[in-house]
Structure 1
Amino acid sequence: MDFIFTRPDSKTSAAALEVCHEYAEPWLLNHSLRAYSWAAAYASLTDIAYDGELLYVAALLHDLALTPAFDNHALPFEEAGGHVAWVFAAGAGWGRVRRDRLAEVVVLHMRDDVPAEDDPESHLLQVAVSADVSGRGLDRFPDQVKDDVLTRYPRLGFADAFLSRAEDQAERKPRCAAAALMRDGWAQRLTNNPLDAPGR
């Protein structure tokens, strides 16, 4: 499954990786790269057809609004991230419809589950981010895939760093999705993610 680590061959995909390298801390960069890898692996395991470039760019940009440069004082981070992604896509020359789709995928990664038949890219990113952040659905992935993803993109203290950002979002924006998840025990699920178990 080496293909899950292969960037789609497009200038926009390369630019998304460059932007993520520039603005995301190492733990967040690796989370974004793992998100794409989990999504691509799950698509292969379940035979879901998807737009590789759209999914890759969404995965690389989906959490940029958690960084100081793009944090928004009022909007939930996924909505702010959708705007960042839309502007990025405009600069990349994507048409209006494709820009809107990218923003939608970024926003939906924090919303209720989307069926694959309705929106494969959003579904795949939701599955991937849920697995990487809280361990939800990890049983869908063979052990070899889990080992390969973590070897290629180590966690680098992801749980503590991400939890700190999520708690900050919840405190400042009590009506946002992150706040609702925190009230529902997200912090415990995040810190108990099997991907962070000793010896992995």
Structure 2
Amino acid sequence: MSQIIAGIRVPDSNIARAATQLVRDTEDELLYNHSRRVFFWGALTGERKGLKYDPELLYLGAMFHDMGLTEKYSSPDLRFEVDGANAARAFMKSYGVPERDIEDVWTAIALHTTPGIPEHMRPTIALVTAGVEMDVLGIAYDHFSHEHRHEVCACHPREDNFKENIIDHFYEGIKKKPETTFGNVKADVLALKDRNYKRMNFCSIILCSAWPT
């Protein structure tokens, strides 16, 4: 039977169960619990805003959104968000999911660290980012009831020192390809964790380009 947490029913389809098992087998406990919480925060946001969303697509987006941080799914030269999106795409294709739904989940994962854009897109895309922003950044924290926050975290705990540990997970997932953080928030992670890291500068790239003027 499907599990219900904070009034949100966890999808119980074959593809959802398979995704859960894959993530459990691939990610550690911190990332697994984080991904599950992202689903609940996203779904609760959708309920609060009256959005018509597909719970299964939201679940797949939430569960795969950090897969690109894992060794198994990390590429040598793509943003970790794209690696996770590509993993979700391949997984969903194997289940015959319609291309439009695959593209929504792909986009949701690829854009989940790009603030200011997903919120204006279709519900799956907007709500994955909303869930991530709640769990990592505490955005809209007070829009969730104490009871809902307690119930979700009772089932999927935020471990002690989660804030520092999630930053460590980000760093471990991107430290070998710092160039992929240009223009996105993960550059802040490298600036904090690697004293030798030097940010690429957008204006410098313009001024030093091959164009004569």
Q: Distance in 2 between matches of 1:118 and 1:45?
A: 17
1:10-58 per-residue CA deviation (whole Å, 9 max, x = no partner) reads: 1111111111111110111100100001111111122111011100111
1:120-145 per-residue CA deviation (whole Å, 9 max, x = no partner) reads: 11111111101111212212211111
Task: Name the structure with the higher helix share.
Answer: 1
Q: Distance in 1 between matches of 2:85 and 2:152?
A: 26
Structure 1 residue aligned with 2:145: 142
Q: Distance in 2 between matches of 1:44 and 1:178?
A: 34
Alpha-carbon distance, 1:99 to partner: 2.0
Structure 2 residue aligned with 1:122: 125
TM (normalized to structure 1)? Answer: 0.82
Whether 1:161 and 2:190 are equivalent positions in the alignment is: no
Whether 1:69 and 2:72 are equivalent positions in the alignment is: yes
1:127-179 per-residue CA deviation (whole Å, 9 max, x = no partner) reads: 11011112122122111111111111101243333211322445433343587
Whether 1:113 and 2:116 are equivalent positions in the alignment is: yes
Alpha-carbon distance, 1:4 to partner: 4.8
User: How has the CA–CA distance of structure 1 residues 103 and 36 changed in structure 2, closer, same or farther, with 3 Å as cutoff?
Assistant: same
Q: Distance in 2 between matches of 1:48 and 1:128?
A: 14
User: How has the CA–CA distance of structure 1 residues 113 and 32 changed in structure 2, closer, same or farther, with 3 Å as cutoff?
Assistant: same
Opposite residue 107 of structure 1, the aligned amino acid is A
Whether 1:104 and 2:107 are equivalent positions in the alignment is: yes
CA contact (8 A) 2:114 2:184 kept: no
User: How has the CA–CA distance of structure 1 residues 148 and 3 changed in structure 2, closer, same or farther, with 3 Å as cutoff?
Assistant: closer
TM (normalized to structure 2)? Answer: 0.78
Q: Distance in 2 between matches of 1:120 and 1:11?
A: 22
- CA RMSD, Structure 1 to Structure 2 (Å): 2.5
Percent of aligned pairs with the same amino acid: 26
Q: Which moved more, 1:97-106 or 1:125-134?
A: 97-106
Greater Rg by CA:
2
Whether 1:15 and 2:3 are equivalent positions in the alignment is: no
CA contact (8 A) 1:113 1:123 kept: no
CA contact (8 A) 1:169 1:178 kept: no
Gapped regions of structure 1 (runs ≥ 5): 189-200
Q: Distance in 2 between matches of 1:127 and 1:187?
A: 25
Structure 2 residue aligned with 1:197: none
Aligned with 2:114: secondary structure? coil
CA contact (8 A) 2:58 2:124 kept: yes
